[in-house]
Chain A
Amino acid sequence: MIRVQYFARLRELAGKGQDTLDREEMTVQQLLDWAEETYPGFGKDDIQVAVNEEYALPEDVIHSGDECAFIPPVSGG
């Protein structure tokens, strides 16, 4: 199981704060592709993925048990 969290615009688009994917392993790019397919308008090209609270690269591998989050462009301050 891979847990993913949504924030801000993505949380409103998904209509929820989190999802659980029944996968053993996938790359960050595959996760982004899944999200774009599941939620049209996701905008994966502008979104980063955090794995276990650290920014990850598209080719990084996510494993079952990892905590992932989609990070749209930040606007703090």
Chain B
Amino acid sequence: MKPFEVVEAPIDAQVYSDYVLHAGAGAVTLFTGHVREWTHGVRTVYLAYEAYVPMAEKKLAEIGAEMEAKWPGVKAAIAHRIGELHISDIAVVIAVSSSHRKAAYEANEYAIERIKEVVPIWKKEIWEDGEEWLGAQKKYPEKGVDSV
């Protein structure tokens, strides 16, 4: 594995958690984002993720560097899966270790917010009666786009 990567195979979150753990770490936060079946009353059959892979991996690594600058001493690993994902599959994993828990919690949430802003990855929702790339927000414009 690479600490900041886009993958096609199913994600094993433990691998990323193990990567960030070290003797000086008193806390590890492990966030996994999953494919949700129901969004605003619309049933998702599956999601199709696409990425501009080299740039996405570069941006994930930049987010890692931002985290280390804001919370000195944290160690991070992030992976995002692309391709066809089904209900409850892991789409993204963020593992963060720190000497004390507060930094690990804060840095982890920061990472997912930044992923949604700057990493060139796109999600298409496939429903029983149609499909749409998110970001366009046509199906439920009043609600905006949630996380998976």
Q: Which chain A residues numbered 31 to 75 have a C-beta less than 8 Å away from chain B?
A: 50, 53-55, 69, 71-75
CB pair B124–A77 under 8 Å, yes or no, is no
Chain B interface residue number, banded: 20 to 34
CB pair A76–B55 under 8 Å, yes or no, is no
CB of B100 within 8 Å of the partner chain: no
Contact of A69 among B52, B58, B116, B119 (CB under 8 A): B52
CB neighbours of A72 from chain B (8 A): 122, 133, 135
Task: Name 17 A/B residue pairs within 8 A (Cβ), A-sorted.
Answer: A5-B52, A7-B50, A8-B124, A9-B136, A50-B120, A53-B52, A53-B54, A69-B120, A72-B122, A72-B133, A72-B135, A74-B118, A74-B119, A76-B49, A76-B51, A76-B115, A76-B120
**In the A-B complex, the 5 residue pairs with the closest CB atoms:** A76-B121, A73-B135, A8-B122, A75-B134, A53-B55
